[in-house]
């Protein structure tokens, strides 16, 4: 019979694959150092594109334990998800047995899924005809294949979920997975996001919206959240996975407890298909909902990893929402956007940023917002500008806002008995 009292949910494992590195430590070190993972695109001919750079991860995610033939049948977003999931599982020390596999699940989402595979399939369809299509096109393209493949590979029989909510995907995956654990649907869930949007269609499509920075002459300085000279976001790719676990389960198996998920809030702007509500109501509401869920006051939050995409409208709205929620506390509340170092990883962004918050809680190192040379007066906050800040924190809030007006916030904290 289900207990009516929600269980505490903790983080016991971390894994990622990003433009800053192929694992958690390399990624966090790069973020703290203020290193940029943005560079010119060399995977396809981008010479005719309006934007010719992106946040690019390593060319080939290493999966040596899988047959090469099988890896070739995977889209890049799936390969990155598998690398991140493998690291997170190893980090957590999770062992799968017949006794526990039905209590372990997966919730890895993707905003777009196998975009490069889709492009290749269209070329084949129109150049060579439908009979030349590989039977693996659909399994390679669908967004839920990351969750599905991880569950197949490790034999997880618990919940198998895939959230597809644009740039909020990763946070929705983590927040909803935590609720599944809290109310007893599972004991462990691998949650996060994976995205591989750097293709001719992906870059061209976002550029056509005029959403991307066009700073082709200095790509490493193109992502500049909250800066007066920002001109759009930088497209990026990667994956981030957290192992979430019920506290009683983690304690029972002696798992490393890296942080606790204290709160989760969601909202909708209900305003525009791409632009945020100008009054910041959606961003404000989801932060307030997360605080309410955590049972915390605004003054209890000690660091914010902002959505901070480097778009002219989005940064102003988020900064105003942070000031509205935190009031005078915002004057001394450190805020940074790690998208400045790796670009916007879309459906993977929220998961990677939550992971960085966990590392900040563990190390007392707050990653900076790089390229913040002329802070926009309309974005006035306690910015961690250009240089990491060393301060012990107990709580961190991470924001993710997506197209369609979908918003979510997570609050993570140090685990305390």
- Side-chain-side CA neighbours of 102 within 13 Å: the count stands at 2
Burial of 273 (0-12, 13-18, 19+ CB in 10 A): exposed
Q: Tokens 């599944």: give the residue.
A: 180
Exactly one of 163, 307, 357, 383 is catalytic; name it. Answer: 307
For every residue of 348-398, DSSP letters joined together read GHHHHHHHHHHHHHHH-EEPPBTT-SSB-GGG-SEE-BSS-EE---SEEEE
Is 329 annotated in the active site?
A: no
Q: Which residue has the tokens 């839920």?
A: 144
Best CA proximity match to 81, nearest among 148, 135, 175, 156: 148
SS3 at position 239:
strand
Residue (of 74, 76, 84) closest to 21 by Cα position: 84
Residues 6+ apart with CB under 8 A from 141: 75, 113, 114, 117, 118, 121
Which one is catalytic: 16, 162, 163, 167?
167
H or E segment and range at residue 31: helix 24-33
DSSP 7: P
User: Phi and psi at residue 77, in whole multiples of 5°?
Assistant: -65, -35
- The CA distance from 33 to 15, in Å, is 19
272 is known as an active-site residue: no
Exposed / middle / buried, residue 131 (Cβ in 10 Å: 0-12, 13-18, 19+): exposed
Note if 307 is an active site residue: yes
Q: Which of 172, 344, 357, 383 is catalytic?
A: 344
Separation of alpha carbons 333 and 328, rounded Å: 9
Q: Which residues participate in catalysis according to the annotation?
A: 167, 307, 344
């Amino acid at each position: 019979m289900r207990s009516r009292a929600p269980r505490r949910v903790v983080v016991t494992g971390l894994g990622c694959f990003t433009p800053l590195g192929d694992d958690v430590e390399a990624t966090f070190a790069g973020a703290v150092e203020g290193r940029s993972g943005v560079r010119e695109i060399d995977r396809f001919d981008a010479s005719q594109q309006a934007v010719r750079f992106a946040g690019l991860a390593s060319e080939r995610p290493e999966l040596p334990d899988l047959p090469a033939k099988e890896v070739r049948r995977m889209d890049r977003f799936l390969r990155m998800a598998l690398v991140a999931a493998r690291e997170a599982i190893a980090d957590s020390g999770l062992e799968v047995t017949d006794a526990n596999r039905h209590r372990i699940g997966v919730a890895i989402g993707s905003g777009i899924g196998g975009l490069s595979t889709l492009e290749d399939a269209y070329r084949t369809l129109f150049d060579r005809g439908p009979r030349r299509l590989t039977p693996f096109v659909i399994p390679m393209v669908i967004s839920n294949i990351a969750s599905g493949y991880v569950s197949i590979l490790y034999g997880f029989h618990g919940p198998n979920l895939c959230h597809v909510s644009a740039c909020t995907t990763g946070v929705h995956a983590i927040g909803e997975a935590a609720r599944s654990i809290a109310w007893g649907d599972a004991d462990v869930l691998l949650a996060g996001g994976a995205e591989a949007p750097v293709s001719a269609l992906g870059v061209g499509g976002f550029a056509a919206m005029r959403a991307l920075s066009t700073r082709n002459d200095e790509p490493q300085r193109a992502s500049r959240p909250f800066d007066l000279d920002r001109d759009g976001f930088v497209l990026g790719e990667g994956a981030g996975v957290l192992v979430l676990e019920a506290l009683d389960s983690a304690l029972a198996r002696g798992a490393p407890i890296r942080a606790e998920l204290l709160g989760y809030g969601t909202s909708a702007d209900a305003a525009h298909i791409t632009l945020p509500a100008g009054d910041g109501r959606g961003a404000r509401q989801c932060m307030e909902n997360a605080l309410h869920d955590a049972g915390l006051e605004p003054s209890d939050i000690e660091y914010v990893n902002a959505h901070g995409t480097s778009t002219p409208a989005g940064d102003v709205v988020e900064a105003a929402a942070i000031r509205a929620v935190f009031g005078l506390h915002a004057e001394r509340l450190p805020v940074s956007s790690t998208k400045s170092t790796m670009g916007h990883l879309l459906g993977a962004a929220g998961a990677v940023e939550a992971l960085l918050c966990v590392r900040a809680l563990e190390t007392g190192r707050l990653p900076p917002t790089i390229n913040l040379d002329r802070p926009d007066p309309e974005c006035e906050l306690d910015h961690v500008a250009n240089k990491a800040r060393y301060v012990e924190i107990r709580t961190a809030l991470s924001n993710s806002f997506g197209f369609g007006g979908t918003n979510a916030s997570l609050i993570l904290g140090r685990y305390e008995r």
